[in-house]
Amino acid sequence: MNIVFMGTPTFALPTLDALAAEHNITAIFTRPDAVSHRGKQKMPSLVKARATELGITCYTPRSFYQNLNDGAPLFNKEGNRVVDATILADLKRSAPDLIVVVAYGMLLPSEVIDLPTFGSINVHASLLPRWRGAAPIQRALLAGDEQTGITLMRMETELDVGPYCLQAATSTQGKNYQQLIVEMGTMGAELLTQNLEAITSGELAWISQDNRLATYADKVQKGSIDLDPALTVLENYNRVRASTHHARSRTTILGKRIMVLEACPAKERHNKTLYYECADGALEIGLLKPDGGKQMTGTSFLAGLRQSSGG
């Protein structure tokens, strides 16, 4: 089967690899190179890097629509935006039987969605209709959801509103964002590849989402998940679990700014352990990174504070 793959981050890689092992990936689309989280230089997405390894043509459009520099009309007679003719031609040359989208980060026009013989499928990292949008795993953790999962959804032009055919759930208990990314990336790849024939043959029924149950997973901004003493232990714990390279949980201890990398609700107190006081108890900080410093345990950080302050 000829497949065009669209995706960008780590979560997309297992599905790309699984499809490439069994099918003909005729083209890959990913987001343009972006400044790394260290802010030093522009870096290709992980999907673009994998496309290079696989020797597959990779496109990085900033938009699927015409822009002012093209000199072509931006809107048609019906008032809809005009799709970029070059991108559409590239897609048609790829002759896809199916488009598979995994955390691409860009809405697709109907001309793209409807192009393949079997349409376009999205591997989404939530149990839709809960957590439509850009950051479903982080929002599930921040909300304290006991489970999350994968949904195979048929693409539509609006954000994550299409009908779905399959879902698979997993517990969030004791897991952080990085762990869930790995687990759910594999889950999504398996759910799609194991059922791809049934999907394209029409064996599976498509279930409409109940829009009344929809919640939205807006992108988590820097600073929005810093630790807050006014919040409960569980709320601060969930902030640490939801941390990513782009948005870390931070706090300040005795004037020293730190990133909190690992923490857990404190069950009992120990003299050599670093704690963060919350509204209803304490969070035990296991691993941290001071600004401009190296990663260390909370115990080592506390010992350093005591030494520098004379005990």
- Is the pLDDT reported for residue 271 higher than 80? yes
The pLDDT tens digits of the residues spanning 92-136 come to 999 999 999 999 999 999 999 999 999 999 999 999 999 999 999
| pLDDT for res 155 | 97
Spatial contact of 93 and 57, defined as CB atoms under 8 Å apart: no
The pLDDT tens digits of the residues spanning 187-221 come to 999 999 999 999 999 999 999 999 999 999 999 99
Q: What percent of the chain has pLDDT over 90?
A: 84
Q: What gap in Å lies between CA 288 and CA 250, rounded to an integer?
A: 9
Residue type (1 letter), 300: S
| pLDDT for res 71 | 66
Q: What gap in Å lies between CA 286 and CA 293, rounded to an integer?
A: 16
pTM value is 0.93
The pLDDT tens digits of the residues spanning 46-77 come to 999 999 999 999 999 999 998 866 667 788 77
Spatial contact of 65 and 42, defined as CB atoms under 8 Å apart: no
Higher-confidence residue: 311 or 300?
300
**Which pLDDT band, with edges at 50, 70 and 90, does 151 fall under?**
very high
Spatial contact of 68 and 74, defined as CB atoms under 8 Å apart: yes
Helix (DSSP H) and strand (DSSP E) numbers for the chain:
8, 16
| pLDDT for res 270 | 86
| pLDDT for res 42 | 86
Mean pLDDT (the chain) is 94
Spatial contact of 149 and 184, defined as CB atoms under 8 Å apart: yes
User: What residue ranges define each of the domains in the chain, with the CATH number in brackets?
Assistant: 2-217 (3.40.50.170), 233-308 (3.10.25.10)
